[in-house]
Amino acid sequence: MPANGFKPDFIDPSRKSLSVNWPTLSVNQQQDLAEVGDNGKLHYDHFSLALSKSRRFPYYTATNIDGSLFKKIKRADIFDGGKDVWEEDSRAGNHQWGQKLYDAPKSYFDRGHMTKREDPQWGQSITEAKKAARSTFQFPNCVPQHAALNQRIWASLETYILTKQSVPNKLRISVFTGPVISGDDPEFVTPVNGQIVQLPVLFWKVVYYSSDGKSLSRVAFLMGQEDLLIDNGIARSKLPTRLLNTFFAPSKKLFMDYEDAETYQINMKTVQKLSGLTFTKAKEPYKDTRPLKLIKKVVQAKDKKKSILLSVNEDISVPEFKITNIKL
């Protein structure tokens, strides 16, 4: 049975006002969209994505999460043998970076899921949920992320959205995630197949939800890894002087008791400015007045040597911070 992919009317099919459309690419992005799958979209179980032809990374992933049907499955139980199995998607052809990027010398980074493994891990049965979780281990859904970002603050944000909001409140939500693909991104120090690979340094996440069943709300977050990549000798600045500039934002009730929100929560206008994408309009509980330059600087993850990394087989646990003002 073919994967159903992201559904715009997922939050409530009976209410058109709660539909969340696909992000709209800019003119330049449309020209760079990989012509794969369904009009440039690759569909998986409960999520879909659109790829950049030139960069071989997703412009965005779009995911539906049904908190009422979430199934708790240990990561070690997803694949036979207990270990992650990443695969190239034949539909994406050469518009994806495979394992060679992650095996290259100085590749001190993780295969970072854009759609989190647990997010589509729901369904009427464990079998359905496990199949959906397994489908996230496809290289088109992957972008290099330093462990200090991928296994700490990014993982904590993802876990908060799922385990502290969607699942306990039995919410249906739609989540968009992606790297900021910029021409100024630093270059990986090791060419792959003779090609220079520019590594994204900023990652955004947008959550759409309805707290009253009538109106649509959204919150956005931004995190970065530029300092980690440069300071650890993984990447070198493409420009003589990197422009560490950008803008930011906070929120209300549902999804807003996130401890580090003041650092990582941003306004949608910031996400749209950085990503080049246009999103469905909705209420925004969070307002931010910080300049873009400050935002880009403060969202950089730090390499705290004493921090404990999440084990690859660790089950989702209580996150270490909250998002302010986003509770039902």
Identify residue 211 by its one-letter amino acid code.
S
Give the whole-angstrom CA distance, residue 75 versus residue 2: 24
What are the pLDDT digits (tens) for 80-96?
888 999 999 999 999 99
Residues 6 or more apart from 59 whose CB is under 8 A from it?
23, 25, 29, 33, 49, 50, 51, 52, 178, 181, 275, 277
pLDDT of residue 238: 73
CA 117, CA 159: separation in Å to the nearest integer? 10
Please answer whether residues 317 and 297 qualify as being in contact, where contact means their C-beta atoms are separated by less than 8 angstroms: no
16-298, CATH topology level: Extracellular Endonuclease; Chain A (3.40.570)
* pLDDT of the chain, 328 residues: tens digit per residue: 577 899 999 999 999 999 999 999 999 999 999 999 999 999 999 999 999 999 999 999 999 999 999 999 999 999 988 899 999 999 999 999 999 999 999 999 999 999 999 999 999 999 999 999 999 999 999 999 998 876 667 667 777 777 767 777 788 999 999 999 999 999 999 999 999 999 999 999 999 999 888 999 999 988 889 988 999 999 998 754 333 333 222 233 444 444 444 467 888 999 999 999 999 999 988 776 666 656 666 556 666 543 333 333 334 333 343 444 444 3
Residue 239's pLDDT is 59
Which residue, among 239, 217, 226, 225, has the nearest Cα to 327 in the 3D structure?
217
CA distance 114 to 240: 30
> Largest alpha-carbon pair distance within the chain?
54
Q: What is the pLDDT of residue 246?
A: 33
So what's the pLDDT on residue 100? 97
Q: Where are the domains of the chain?
A: 16-298
**Residue 156: predicted pLDDT:** 75
The confidence score (pLDDT) of residue 310 equals: 32
Which residues, in sequence order, are bridge partners of residue 50? 41, 60
